Amino acid sequence: MKKKTIFGVIGVIAFVTIVLSVLGMFFNKSEDEKLNGLSGYYDVTEEGTIAYVHYTDGKPRIRLYNPEKSDDEKILELENDQYILDPTFSADGSTITYISTNKNLEESLSSTIYQFNLETQENLELFSFDAAITEIQFSANEESMFYLMAGVFQNYSPIASRRPHDFDVYEYRFAEDEHIQHTKMKEYSMHSLHNAPDNESVFVRMDEVADTPEESFEVHQRIFEIPLEEPSKRKVISDPNREVDIFDFTIVPDRKEIVFQSIGNFDSGGTYQYELYKYNLETKEEEQLTNLKEYTTNPVIRQNQIYFMVDKRFAQRDSDYHLYVMNMDGTEVKEIQLPSNQTSE
């Protein structure tokens, strides 16, 4: 090959490399900007209005969608270095309380609770801690709010990713501006916080207690009831003999039932598929509600229906959440077409 040809090829390669580098500077997004689409966090009023968290170029937004009117609007937006967790309506639907946390908890472990008034558009900061607050739940009379808070963010083994650990149950009383720590368990994990209508106990999902190091390898995730006056007397309310772990759950109002998420193909050897199940606390009978062979999560019960999320790219790099609703017996499963989940704006 002639030298001129060789130099020509090298020149073209160099030019293309420079062009691609320049384009990369313009189009390469930072980690904070890469998050787009629907998250798994949402809530629903008794009238059916949906508040959900949607990301655009990494910026978290809370949007409201009214299925009857097909209205969809952005009500607030945070910077792209923040996550929005657990948006929660007040009983009358006039406010939304939510958690704001840093995306990089390793750099700065901090969580702030805000309450957004839908009428006045005021975004009030309630309190903030240098800790990981992961879930919130109003008391039945809405005079206080329970929350789960983890004291550390670390990996407990070299092969595990960093996560919040040392969880306990807390309560914030609005009138007194007072925080109460109800448990001192420092649990490795604690999720799906719900409080009893009488405010005398809370329900959470966490590991069974292991009496010996050997038993720690055999523990299962179960649903516990924790009496607030005597937290040490916690007890399992889900099936104590279930061999497959329970994950997200919710309590069916006015019924002795729970709806929970668990693995539907535990013995298959493939990628796990997560389905929803219903368990009767009195009859001890269990019923499988979904058979989507996907990843169902975050059940919420309103208007005698079960809302839930489905991640259609579970176990892949990016999630693809879609909101569904079905009857209490698992029939008439249908997707709710959230407008901003179809197109980014």
Q: Which residues of the chain have pLDDT under 50?
A: 1-28, 344-345
Question: Which pLDDT does position 160 carry in this prediction?
Answer: 61
| Whether the predicted model's global pTM rises above the 0.95 cut | no
Question: Which pLDDT does position 18 carry in this prediction?
Answer: 34
Report in angstroms the alpha-carbon separations of 153 from 32, 108, 183, 188. Answer: 19, 10, 19, 11
Helices (H), the chain: 3-27, 339-342
Distance between CA 210 and CA 230 in Å, rounded? 20
Question: Which pLDDT does position 107 carry in this prediction?
Answer: 78
In contact, 122 and 130? CB cutoff 8 Å: no
**Residues β-bridged to residue 169:** 148
SS3 category, 250? strand
Question: Which pLDDT does position 318 carry in this prediction?
Answer: 86
Question: Which pLDDT does position 71 carry in this prediction?
Answer: 85
Question: Which pLDDT does position 268 carry in this prediction?
Answer: 84
- For residue 277, which of 261, 296, 294, 291 has the smallest C-alpha distance? 261
**What are the tens digits of pLDDT across the range 120-178?**
999 999 999 999 999 999 999 999 999 999 987 777 666 566 778 899 999 999 999 99
In contact, 254 and 243? CB cutoff 8 Å: no
Query: Could you tell me the residue ranges of all domains in the chain?
Result: 29-125
Question: Which pLDDT does position 130 carry in this prediction?
Answer: 93
Other beta carbons within 10 angstroms of residue 4's beta carbon come to 8
Question: Which pLDDT does position 105 carry in this prediction?
Answer: 75
Question: Which pLDDT does position 329 carry in this prediction?
Answer: 96
In contact, 323 and 48? CB cutoff 8 Å: no
Please give the single-letter amino acid code of residue 72.
D
- For residue 101, which of 133, 65, 61 has the smallest C-alpha distance? 133
In contact, 42 and 53? CB cutoff 8 Å: yes
In contact, 274 and 264? CB cutoff 8 Å: yes
